[in-house]
Amino acid sequence: MAREGGPAGANQRWLSRVLWLLLVVFGVSALAYFVAPSASLRVVGIASDPTERFLLRTLAAALLAFVVPLWLAAARPSTSLRYALVWGVITYLVASSLVDLAAYMGGIVSGLSIPSAAVRIALAVWLVLLQRRGG
């Protein structure tokens, strides 16, 4: 049996899948930042001190704050919450990528931050396209 909904329905399904993926990525990242902040920083070449660990755990709290709304938005495709949250996630993905790129250019982090930033920019572009096509 064919799925109903046409192109708009397909966009809804793809947007839901991307939101579920982001929920998992944000949740896993937040847990890593809370549990092992030093190891998380070492991945991009930053030696940690108590201040950096505190700041990373603060970021973890913000990422965890995204988890429940992402779950609601992924599970309820036709809501204003979903529309607003997708634009919030796009903003986060682009802004965090710009921060990483600036840190790389300033010699603060290693080149491992570049692929991460590129993936986040690609996800943001994909979300914009899905959102604009009725996702």
What backbone phi and psi angles, to 5 degrees, belong to 78? -105, 60
Residue 91 lies inside a defined structural domain of this protein: yes
Is 93's pLDDT higher than 80?
A: yes
pTM here is: 0.77
Quick check: 127 and 90 in contact, CB under 8 A?
yes
Residue 104 lies inside a defined structural domain of this protein: yes
Which residue range forms the structural domain that includes residue 57? 6-132
Predicted confidence at residue 33, as pLDDT, reads: 94
- Scored b (16 or more CB within 10 A) or e, 4-27 reads eeeeeeebbebbbebbeebbebbb
Residue 41 lies inside a defined structural domain of this protein: yes
Predicted confidence at residue 123, as pLDDT, reads: 94
Residue 108 lies inside a defined structural domain of this protein: yes
pLDDT, mean of residues 84-91:
91
Predicted confidence at residue 6, as pLDDT, reads: 67
Number of domains observed in the structure of the chain? 1
Q: Which residues contact 43 (CB under 8 A, 6 or more apart)?
A: 112
Predicted confidence at residue 1, as pLDDT, reads: 37
Residue 1 lies inside a defined structural domain of this protein: no
Residue 55 lies inside a defined structural domain of this protein: yes
pLDDT, mean of residues 65-86:
85
Residue 93 lies inside a defined structural domain of this protein: yes
Nearest CA to 130 among 8, 6, 25? 8
Residue 30 lies inside a defined structural domain of this protein: yes
Quick check: 128 and 15 in contact, CB under 8 A?
no
Is 2's pLDDT higher than 50?
A: no
- Kindly state the percentage of the chain with pLDDT values over 90: 47
Is 72's pLDDT higher than 60?
A: yes
pLDDT, mean of residues 112-129:
93
